[in-house]
Amino acid sequence: MKTVYFDNAATTCIRDEVIDRMTEVMKFNFGNASSSHSYGRQSKALIESSRKRIASHFNVSAAEIVFTSGGTEADNLVLRSAVRDLGVTTIITSKIEHHAILHTLDQLVEEYGIDVKYVDLNAKGDVSITHLESLLKSNSKQLVSLMHVNNEIGNKLDLKAVATLCKSYNALFHSDTVQSVGHYKLDLQDIPIDYLAASAHKFHGPKGVGFAFLRKHSGLRATIFGGEQERGLRAGTESIHNIVGLDEALHMSYTHLDAERVYIQELKAYFIKQLKAACPNVSFNGQCEDSEKSTYTLVNVCLPMAPEKASLLQFQLDLKGIACSRGSACQSGSSQNSHVLTEILDDEHIKRPSVRFSFSKYNTKEEVDYVIEVLKAFITD
């Protein structure tokens, strides 16, 4: 059976070169990085070398990179410590953030009674900068948390504009950049952001490892306790092969970024063109039709079909070997509508099936043709 993997926003396959590097480390560098003997020192050297090279991609110091198990842990570290240790009492966010943000905020409201304010969105899911500024006009200790690239609809936030605005009001700014790190270059000397989160498996690295960027002298403290790893900010024996894999995947992503971005962008444009031709009544959620306002890696489509037929769509696509997402992968097993689409779609379109297709360098136009053929046959049958 033909198979097509169009769910790269959920996770990506690991590059062969990354697997080779990780295998080498697992075989020859198994020492505990906290040990003082040569095996430990070798492992520690690998970690610090990776930290330094990762930091160089963002024009920051190595001390500002803290390794985590992924984006979710990095988000939790920033939000929880900001409230507990920095005295943040108000957090401004949006209702279409990843659940790593929204569910953490729910917990912080329960534990600390913080005030959560939601910035207005337009019909396409874009953040209202005007409303954000009005929310920032407060005397409370504030933190803004807004994602760079939305994981479901692909909308891009102007990080520099928001970071600069937050700075002008003395508010801290955190961004979940899980969908953009490895796909966009971010100069954090030019962008005055305080914190960001990243995850290796979104840019052809291993699962279970990511990092938080914490601006120097952030004042944040650990949320996981035990040893003194990561300068006391994240206890636990380091997963050396995963950290090296993260480093290698990020380095390769940025080394080949320009060529791979052009290729994937053309693939996305081809997908949109072919889908419009095959299904004239299709609509696109968020800004994913706009190459300037949306990431080049995904498209979220609302398909014209009756609800009773729509319930079989995901099953039919899977039956034909096509991997994609009804919403984000975090929600695909849920019977509930996507919280992102619920916020931006009208009553008519929310009843229709919406599917996210996300692309990588490993996808082809032939795969696009096959998916369009399957979709057209199912819709018109």
Asked if residue 294 and residue 333 are part of one domain, the reply reads: yes
Q: 263 with 235, same domain?
A: no
| pLDDT above 80: residue 329 | no
One domain for residues 297 and 186: no
User: Does one domain contain both 59 and 153?
Assistant: yes
Average pLDDT over residues 353-377: 97
Q: Are residues 310 and 205 in the same domain?
A: no
What is the pLDDT, as a whole number, of residue 118?
98
Predicted confidence at residue 291, as pLDDT, reads 92
Which residue range(s) make up the domain with 357?
A: 4-12+257-380
Co-location of 185 and 89 in the same domain = yes
What is the average pLDDT across 297-322? Answer: 92
Last residue of a domain, one of 255, 278, 294: 255
- Domain boundary at 240, 255, 270, which? 255
How confident is residue 104, by pLDDT bands cut at 50, 70 and 90? very high
CB 246 within 8 A of CB 198: no
CA distance 294 to 288: 5
The domain that holds 319 is classified in CATH as 3.90.1150.10
Query: For position 330, what pLDDT does the model report?
Result: 39
Statement to judge: residues 61 and 176 lie in one domain: yes
> Of all residues in the chain, what percent carry a pLDDT higher than 70?
97
Q: Provide the pLDDT confidence category of residue 333 given band limits of 50, 70 and 90.
A: very low
Dmax of the chain from CA atoms? 68
Q: What is the mean pLDDT of residues 273-296?
A: 96
User: Does 92 share its domain with 74?
Assistant: yes
Give the pLDDT mean for 225-249: 96
For the stretch 18-53, pLDDT in tens is 999 999 999 999 999 999 999 999 999 999 999 999
Structure confidence by residue, pLDDT tens digits, 188-205: 999 999 999 999 999 999
CA-nearest of 133, 64, 76, 130 to 101 is 76
In total, how many domains does the chain have? 2
In this predicted structure, the answer to whether residue 328 has a pLDDT above a threshold of 70 is no
Which of 228, 255, 282 is the C-terminal boundary of a domain? 255
Average pLDDT estimate for 251-272: 98
| Domain shared by 62 and 204, yes or no | yes
Q: What proportion of the chain, given as a percentage, has pLDDT over 90?
A: 91
pLDDT at 16: 98
Q: What are the tokens at 266?
A: 């053309």
In this structure, the answer to whether residues 183 and 82 fall within a common structural domain is: yes
Over 90: is that where the pLDDT of 69 sits? yes
**pLDDT-derived band at 335, boundaries 50, 70, 90:** low
What value does the mean pLDDT take over residues 218-234?
95
Using DSSP bridges, classify how beta strands 195-199 and 210-214 pair: parallel, antiparallel or unpaired. antiparallel
Q: Are residues 250 and 261 in the same domain?
A: no
Tell me what pLDDT residue 381 has: 77
Are 186 and 215 in contact, with CB atoms under 8 Å apart? no
Q: What is the pLDDT of residue 160?
A: 98
pLDDT digits (tens, 9 = 90+) for 163-222: 999 999 999 999 999 999 999 999 999 999 999 999 999 999 999 999 999 999 999 999
User: The domain that contains 77 carries what CATH number?
Assistant: 3.40.640.10
Same domain, 45 and 8: no
The tokens for 180 are 């953009």
- Annotated catalytic residues are 330
Q: Mapped to the 3 state alphabet, what secondary structure does the chain carry?
A: CCCEECECCCCCCCCHHHHHHHHHHHHHCCCCCCCCCHHHHHHHHHHHHHHHHHHHHHCCCHHHEEEECCHHHHHHHHHHHHHHHHCCCEEEECCCCCHHHHHHHHHHHHHHCCEEEECCECCCCCECHHHHHHHHCCCCCEEEECCCECCCCCEECCHHHHHHHHHHCCCEEEEECCCCECCECCCCCCCCCCEEEEEHHHCCCCCCCEEEEECCCCCCCCCCCCCCCHHHCCCCCCCHHHHHHHHHHHHHHHHCHHHHHHHHHHHHHHHHHHHHHHCCCCEECCCCCCCCCECCCEEEEECCCCHHHHCCHHHHHHHCCEECECCCHHHCCCCCCCHHHHHHCCHHHHCCCEEEEECCCCCCHHHHHHHHHHHHHHHHC
- Residue 307's pLDDT is 77
To which residue do tokens 């300037």 refer? Answer: 292
State the chain's mean pLDDT as an integer: 95
Q: What is the pLDDT of residue 336?
A: 67
CB 18 within 8 A of CB 253: no
C-alpha 163/C-alpha 148 separation (Å) is 11
